[in-house]
Structure formats: structure tokens, C-alpha cells
Structure 1
Amino acid sequence: MSEELKYTNKLKGARVLIIGGTSGLGFAAAQAVIEQNISELIISSSSATRIEATIAKLRTLYPTSSTNIIGYPCNLGDEASLPANVENLFSQVGTLDHIIFTAGDAPLLQPFLENSFETIKAAGTIRFFAPLLVAQYGYKHLKPGPASSITLTSGASAEKPIPGWTVTCSYLSGLQGMMRGLALDLKPVRVNLVSPGGVDTEMWDVLQGERAGVVAELARQTTTGRVGQAEDVAEAYIYCLRDWNLSGSIISSNAGRMLV
């Protein structure tokens, strides 16, 4: 008699799109869904070269996996072409079970009082406006019902700001309201949000020589004594996909940052 495996097989056969899946949280989420035996993983980022390299890496890491892995480039950083680029992406992906949005860019590090309106707008192109359009266009490609989902990504700074991050925190907080509104407007498809604290990913490479000090300070502001790793937070994305009773919710993976 075969085992039922109703939990470990819950995502078996699903088609999952990860936007921002070539690095950081998105790459970790890609590994996690492959290990859940999904039928097809679609990866999207701005670079076709990075997509090809990521697919090759995943196939090397999971040589016996039956998950088909494909990818399509989509530039989310250009305001003028953003709607057309998102629409074109979804014209290629077909019917989906889940969408995970982890795309992002380096936080705006310029002092707030020195920001121009243009830099303020630009900081929200990928972080805020892109996921809103992804939900708008992507919803039409999701199978109807609560088994399908959209999972967005914010950050702990939405609730506990970092000095100098006013613009970034504004968009991160806005994502929480966006997620709740989408959960109502797109029902019965589920919409949730993962809110990580400090996570040691390639995004921090922009800090160059200051990177180690920033990571150490982030670790100090935790109860665990360590900065999160992408594979830690990947568990939150898997939960959002697997719990068909979860919608309009924030899953925080922040190493106790809110308590320190």
C-alpha cells in the first residue's frame, strides 16, 4: 500500500513563476520549489544571460529532478516600458499555479533631503510598481481558486525603519497595503507577502568595503545573533504556496528584529 504523502506532494505538478529568480531570495525559492516536485519552474529576470546561467546551475544542483526549468527575460527597471514588458512576459508563460515576486534593486542610500522627485519615483519602479502590474496581468494566467497564489516580497524595514531609508521604507510599507487590497480584488486566488529582515544576499555587494560592517550590525539587531540566509526565508515562500487557507497575510522571517 502506497503512502498518501498529502503534505509533501501538495505542490507536485504545479507550474511556478519566480520573478527575480536568478539570485538571492528568488534563487533560494527556486531551489525550494524544485524540491517540492513541481512540474515546471519559470524564471524571469532582466538578463537573458543570467537566466541561462541560473537554469544551468539549477540543473547541476538537481540532476535527477523531473522539474522542467525555463526562463524569460523581463526588464522591470524602465518606467516607460514596464507595462508592455510585464504584459509580454505573461503572454509567454501560459497558465500558472503560483507567482512569486522577489525582484528588487539596491536600496536608495542617498540622504532623504537630497532626493529628487525623479530618484524617489525610480526607487519604486521595481520595488512597488512592478509587482502591482505583475498582479494585474498575472492574475489572468492563474488557475482560478484558492490553490493558486501570488506572493510578494517586502521587508522588516516597513515596520521598523532604518534611518535614511525613508523612500525605501515608504514603498515597503505600501506593499503591505497592496497585498491586502489584491487579496480582496483577486479572490479566490490567494495573495500574501513575505517580509524578511536582514538577509545576506548579493544585493548587499553594492556596499563593497562596508558590507561586512553592515552585516555585523544587522546581526547585532537580532535575537538569534545571526543574519538570515536566503535558504531560511525560502521556507516562508513555500508556506505561502502550500497553505490554501492563507490569504491577505504577512509572513515575517526577521530573526527577532522587531524585539531588539
Structure 2
Amino acid sequence: MATSPLQLKYVTKLAGARVLVLGGTSGIGFAVAAAALEHGATVIISGSQAHRLESALARLKQAYPDPSYHHRLSGYTCDLGVPEKLEENLSSLFKQSTTTAAVQQQEQSPPSPLIDHIVFTAGDSPQITPVSDVTVDYIQKTGSVRFLGPLILAKLAPKYMTATSNSSITLTSGSQSLKPLPKWTVLVAYGCAVEGMARGLAVDLLPIRVNCVAPGAILTELFDSIPAERRQSVLEQMSKDTLIGQ
């Protein structure tokens, strides 16, 4: 008796979808890009530095050497660190990601150049500063990528996205919003603000779904910015703050 072929319902949900990952060159964003690619999506990653973008694309192609993955992968630089150029840079990223020419390079017969899912994991190395030392300039610079970035992205995104409830925008904050460490007040404030932003956008951007994920401490390339002599003690302190000590 012949058996029916296995019908997969869950691991194919991203098949044919177009996914844009901001901050996709390292850490959580890189893992999201790899997972989306593995599950059949066409993936566009962005980062602020061209050499890191090229490295990330090369690593993804090495991890998935079959050419069928390569034509579903591309990347563009987008600097979110300069508030005055934020809207211009994000507009450029969206246009590059959705032009017919760019899509045709990735897909044989693309049904639409529009984006189905956006994941925002972009960030920069945080400068931990006690409240007694903060300045207006520090507060503004700290919020450029973390707060202004996702907000301006949300302003522009609907024009370039498929407007259905199957589409989504996922933002990231951090567990420090719920359990702050000393001297993290400004960073915690922005984390809470992003979570509030997601709630508002979930209403304003209907039918597109908007959610926010608050990950705990994850050992990524971001920790490379911590001086080597302090890194281990920082990791140990963060481990103590988790239930399982890891």
C-alpha cells in the first residue's frame, strides 16, 4: 500500500515570502535571516557597514551552498545612526529592496516586489552612562538607532509591504526594560518606549501585524565592544540574573 507524501504545514509558512532583516549582519538578526532563508523565504539583510554586510552574505552562502538559496538572498547598507539622514536612508533601503530589477535577480518569477515581513534587530554598542553624567546629546544619540530607527521605518514601511494580516513587523527591545541594571536608565527608557511603540503601531498599521520581542542577554558580536578584561565579569553578572544561570 502506497503511503501519501508528508504534508508539511509549519516549516513551509515562509516559503515564497519576502523578509527584510535590519541588523541582519550579526547576532539575532543574522540568525533570523538564516532561519528565514532555510524555511524558503527570500531574504534581504541590511547593516550599516559594507564590509560586515559582505561578510554576512558570504557566511550565509557558505552555510547554504546550494544555488537555490543564493538567488533568494541579497543585502544593502543602511546607516541608522545619523538622525538627519534616517528617513532618506530607510527610503533608499526600501526602494532597493522592492525594485523590479532587484527582485528579478533573486527570483525567477516573483509574484510581487513587496515585502511580507520586516524584522528590526539593528543596534549599536551601548554606552552605559549613569544618570548623573547623561547629556541631551547622549540621550539623542542613544535613541537614533534604538527608537527613531524603528519609528521612521514604521512610517515608511506600509508603502512597500503587502497589506494583509499575513504580513508583519517585529521590533526588539530587551529584558532590561523589566529588570534594569545600574546605570542603564536611558537604555531602559528606550526599551520601554519601543514596546509602547509596538502597541501603538499594532493599531495604526492594521492590517499589518506589529509585535515586539524582548530578548535577554545573548552572547553575540555586540559583546566584542566590551573590553576583554571586563567581558567575563559582565557575562557572569548577566548569568546570575537568569533563572537557570546561563
Judge same fold: TM > 0.5, yes or no.
yes
Distance 1:160 1:225 in 2: 15
Deviations 1:110-129 (A, max 9, x none): 22211110011100000000
Give the share of equivalent positions with the same residue, in percent. Answer: 44
2:118 maps to 1:114: no
**1:14 maps to which residue?**
17
Q: 2:82 aligns with which of 62, 78, 83?
A: 78
Contact 1:176 1:193 in 2 (8 A): yes
**2:50 maps to which residue?**
48
SS in 1 for 2:83: coil
- In structure 1, what residue type is equivalent to 2:75? G
Q: 2:153 aligns with which of 130, 134, 144?
A: 134
Contact 1:108 1:167 in 2 (8 A): no
Contact 1:152 1:193 in 2 (8 A): yes
Q: 2:7 aligns with which of 4, 7, 13?
A: 4
Distance 2:11 2:138 in 1: 45
Distance 1:65 1:33, change over 3 A: farther
| Aligned-pair CA distance for 1:51 | 1.1
Q: 1:105 aligns with which of 124, 133, 136?
A: 124
Distance 2:217 2:46 in 1: 24
Unaligned runs of 5+ in 2: 99-113
Distance 2:136 2:200 in 1: 26
Number of equivalences: 225
Contact 1:17 1:43 in 2 (8 A): yes
Contact 1:204 1:211 in 2 (8 A): yes
Give me the TM-score of the superposition, normalised by structure 1. Answer: 0.84
Deviations 1:128-176 (A, max 9, x none): 0001111111121111111100000100111111110110000000001
- In structure 1, what residue type is equivalent to 2:55? A
| Aligned-pair CA distance for 1:221 | 1.2
State how 1:22-33 maps to structure 2 within 5 Å: 22-33=25-36
**2:225 maps to which residue?**
206
Distance 2:61 2:32 in 1: 15
Runs of 4+ in 1 over 2 A off after TM superposition: 1-4, 64-67
State how 1:185-204 maps to structure 2 within 5 Å: 185-204=204-223
Unaligned runs of 5+ in 1: 227-260
**2:96 maps to which residue?**
92
**1:66 maps to which residue?**
68
**1:35 maps to which residue?**
38
State how 1:141-156 maps to structure 2 within 5 Å: 141-156=160-175
Distance 1:63 1:224 in 2: 36
State how 1:156-195 maps to structure 2 within 5 Å: 156-195=175-214
Contact 1:17 1:96 in 2 (8 A): yes
**1:239 maps to which residue?**
none
Distance 1:165 1:65 in 2: 45
- In structure 2, what residue type is equivalent to 1:210? R
Which of the pair has more CA radius of gyration? 2
**1:255 maps to which residue?**
none
**1:233 maps to which residue?**
none
Q: Greater relative contact order: 1 or 2 (C-alpha under 8 angstroms, separation 6 or more)?
A: 1
Distance 1:65 1:221, change over 3 A: farther
**1:57 maps to which residue?**
59
Contact 1:154 1:173 in 2 (8 A): yes
